[in-house]
Structure 1
Amino acid sequence: MDQTKRQPRRMGWRFAFLAVLVAVAISGLVRSLWLDVYYIPSESMEPVLANGDRVLVSRTGFHAEPIRRGDIVVFDGRGSFAPLNSGKGPLLDSLAAAGQWLGLAGSDTTYVKRVIGLPGDTVVCCDADGKITVNGGALDEPYVFGGDSPSTQVFSAVVPDGRLWLLGDHRSASADSRSLLGAPGGGMVPMDRVLGRPVQIVWPLDRFAAVPRPPAAGSTTENGQ
């Protein structure tokens, strides 16, 4: 009698465990191929993305259309913004990865910034009006954090083939391509390191909103204009 009672219980636990494994596997597949969740760990992209926001990131967001100037991108910064050997050891790295997977923590090697320079562009700060120019034309940047100037750091950079020049919207609180001008690679991020495009703020609920994308006109990697 006891055995017949225990058998269904065992089968129930096995079924529940199997269901959890299948759910995790499906979630992992979806997040590796289509949609992921990213935790915003700083103020560098305010006001569009705030510290503590959780955003859905489309991993296929640039498959149909190429990256545009003005796009916000999530990217793997190893080799450009972060050392290639970034890490704190297997145990801490595993715990950090779990927190990132659950959308509870940011990453030391994954970043979110805005594309200012595309391959072939010449990006300069600043013109007589204090605006950043790309290929001689002044950028209109309505997304820059209120009270910030486009940049207080003077620079001139030519973006190589297959690379991007990236800045945060909260310019006074962002470590970005400007900070790495003297480093190997000059702060230019390889395009194949782009993981996806933020498409929706999902948490906190009072900030639930789509992440806007700039218009397509004149901002594709194909023409560099």
Structure 2
Amino acid sequence: MTSDDRGSSSISTDEGPRSSRSGDDVTASSRRSKRKQLPLWQETILLLGVALVLAIVIKTFFVQAFYIPSESMEPGLILNDRILIQKVSYWGDDQPERGDVVVFKDPGGWLPPSESAGPSNPVAKVMAKIGLYPTGGHLVKRVIGVAGDTIVCCDDKGRLSVNGKALDETAFVRRGDRSCDGPMVTDCKEDWTVGPIPEGHIFVMGDNRSRSADSSAKMCKPNATECVPGDEFVPVDLVVGKVFVLLWPADRFRWNTRPAPFEDVPDPSP
């Protein structure tokens, strides 16, 4: 074989594979291009579907929007404030703690019909279902006592005591025209005691103590003969989540944390 023959053979061998690879690359690229290109309307539906699923999952397990329906949580949260609650803190065996501000479903008869109805606008109803709009039938209150606790009103400064520990709530509670932090059942004219709180229940109060239809308002008044004790406690399984941020109005945006006075409350005696 001459050197010319070897050169000719070499050129012929190289050109074949290059041509073949080039054709394969074009075909594969064309297929990928066809797979990626969807009509705009299909892409829109797909994106909306993914967003809807994510919104439902987030609402169910993580975060949900609510609004403040009354003045009962002033001065910290006022009428029509938009808040977000998180549900992670109460996963598994974890339960609400003293000082938490929680959203819970109406235990029955705590809310007037107008506040239980929820949104009437069709669009708002759909948004409420996926957690993008507040729903009706819920209340927002602060946890004062948990299972086993005993609450007493009041000491010589008008303060509540939990398991013998007086709570200094001046930083976040509004007494209004009352002289104590627990006025509802006796209007601060007499002391009252509640507890031990049953297992699986909490005792809640609004921060605006003279304008809150809360657990203290559901207590039996002294010498009442037709009142059945127990309606003042909220079942833990009705708690939806813990308020963790004041979202709107924007100029009052803030993270919501547990007040320091509740950190030193001792556990109930066995």
Shared fold (TM-score greater than 0.5)? yes
Match of residue 160, structure 1, among 198, 201, 211: 198
Partners of 1:219 and 1:135 lie apart in 2 by 7
Structure 2: any 5+ residue segments left out of the alignment? Answer: 1-37, 187-191, 221-226
For 2:39, what is the secondary structure of its paired residue?
A: helix
Q: Residue 150 of structure 1 corresponds to which residue in structure 2?
A: 181
> Which residue type is aligned with residue 102 of structure 1?
L
Q: Residue 72 of structure 1 corresponds to which residue in structure 2?
A: 101
Partners of 1:77 and 1:128 lie apart in 2 by 34
Q: Residue 173 of structure 1 corresponds to which residue in structure 2?
A: 211
> CA deviation digits over 1:193-221, x for unaligned, max 9?
2111111111111011111223473458x
For 1:217, what is the secondary structure of its paired residue?
A: helix
Q: Are 1:203 and 2:248 matched, yes or no?
A: yes
Listed as ranges, the matches of 1:1-150 within 5 Å are 11-63=39-91, 66-79=95-108, 81=110, 97-98=125-126, 100=128, 101-103=131-133, 105=134, 107=136, 109-142=137-170, 143-145=172-174, 147=176, 149-150=180-181
The percent of aligned pairs where both chains have the same amino acid is 36
Q: Are 1:217 and 2:257 matched, yes or no?
A: no
> Which residue type is aligned with residue 181 of structure 2?
P
Partners of 1:164 and 1:23 lie apart in 2 by 36
After TM superposition, the score normalised by the length of structure 1 is: 0.78
After TM superposition, the score normalised by the length of structure 2 is: 0.66
How many matched pairs? 209
Structure 1: any 5+ residue segments left out of the alignment? Answer: 1-9
Partners of 1:22 and 1:28 lie apart in 2 by 10
Task: Looking at secondary structure, tell me which structure has more helix per residue.
Answer: 2
Deviation of residue 116 (structure 1)?
Answer: 0.8
> Which residue type is aligned with residue 263 of structure 2?
A
Partners of 1:70 and 1:106 lie apart in 2 by 24
- Structure 1 pair 210–152 and aligned structure 2 pair: CA distance change class (3 A): same
Deviation of residue 87 (structure 1)?
Answer: 6.3
Task: Looking at secondary structure, tell me which structure has more strand per residue.
Answer: 1
**Pairwise CA RMSD of aligned residues?**
3.1
Q: Which has the higher contact order (CA 8 A, sep 6+)?
A: 1
Deviation of residue 77 (structure 1)?
Answer: 2.1
Which structure has the larger Rg? 2
